[in-house]
Amino acid sequence: MQDTDVTRLSATELIELYRRRELSPVEATRAVLAQIGSRNAVTNAYCLVRDDEALASAKQSERRWQAGEPAGLLDGVPVSVKDLLLTSGWPTLRGSLTTDKAGPWNVDAPTVARLREHGAVLLGKTTTPEFGWKGVTDSPLTGVTRNPWDTARTPGGSSGGAAAAVASGLGPLALGTDGGGSIRIPASFCGIVGLKPTHGRVPVYPPSTFGTLSHVGPMARTVADTALLLDALGSPDYRDPLALDRRAPLRGSGQDRRRHSRGPQAPDRPGAGRDSGGGPALLGARLPAGAA
């Protein structure tokens, strides 16, 4: 691994290297934190970085991999969290001077809780315009976030910090939010992959001020990584009554992950469930003979 830039590896590549014991989560996390230390001043992608906590989490992951017992789909993978999503122990200031830094900050949003369950290494919080309301990323609290490809330009918004971080090697995965384009705009501006999931696919709490228009979704440098993160995020949460009942395995093989990525399984009865994506057959509709 001496000639490899670890910060440019995808999450799926990291996991495979962990599995083969050619790289450890501690080495990967240290590399990403060093990159944040040298590059974040240029882009202002992060508004909060917790080095010590990230390294402690990486060491726990390293022990699990050494024992052959990874915690989930993302064990040891560095991930950032947009500063609109509640994260226990960290302030979620939403880019605003009006948010009380004192908290209390003792609740994880469903997506952050899923990251912890799947063993991800949380690096810190990425910048957002105040309350995530616009398509560029600047705020009275954190200032201007810049596009890593051209710092005279915006990375878009409102998940501009997340997109800038992923594009510049400050973590292979990021959580973003999207109402009117807040994942898709910065993903396109920064040359990465971002997805606004179907409503209910990823649980949300607390409810957004934009109502059901705003969703939480994955951001990454590859389609495979985006799908991997979406699989981890998609388990239902009791705090969101509109969340779909679709679970990802916490301790599954790659085959298990691919099975869950295809959506709900068909019922065990003849002729039923021909639409495994949750279409008419799963909803109880009668399909004409010979229908696909």
In a domain, 166, yes or no: yes
In a domain, 250, yes or no: yes
- pLDDT value, residue 28: 98
How remote is the C-alpha of 197 from its chain's centroid? 12
Q: Is 15 helix (H, G, I), strand (E, B) or coil?
A: helix
| Cα-to-chain-centroid distance, residue 23 | 22
**What range does the domain containing 102 cover?**
6-255
Q: What CATH number should be reported for the domain holding residue 188?
A: 3.90.1300.10
Quick check: is 168 in a domain?
A: yes
Contact 84, 35 (CB under 8 A): no
Q: Has residue 213 been placed in a domain?
A: yes
pLDDT digits (tens, 9 = 90+) for 16-61: 999 999 999 999 999 999 999 999 999 999 999 999 999 999 999 9
- In this structure, is residue 104 part of a structural domain? yes
- pLDDT of 74 above 80: yes
Give the per-residue pLDDT at 245.
Answer: 83
User: Which of the four pLDDT bands, split at 50, 70 and 90, describes residue 289?
Assistant: low
The mean pLDDT value for 98-113 works out to: 96
Residue 268: inside a domain:
no
* 118 within a domain of the structure (yes/no): yes
Does residue 117 form part of some domain? Answer: yes
Provide the residue count of the chain. Answer: 292
pTM score of the predicted model: 0.85
Tally the domains of the chain.
Answer: 1
Instruction: Please list the active-site residues.
Output: 82, 158, 182
* Percent of the chain topping pLDDT 90: 79
Nearest C-alpha neighbor of 122 from the set 180, 158, 165, 182? 165
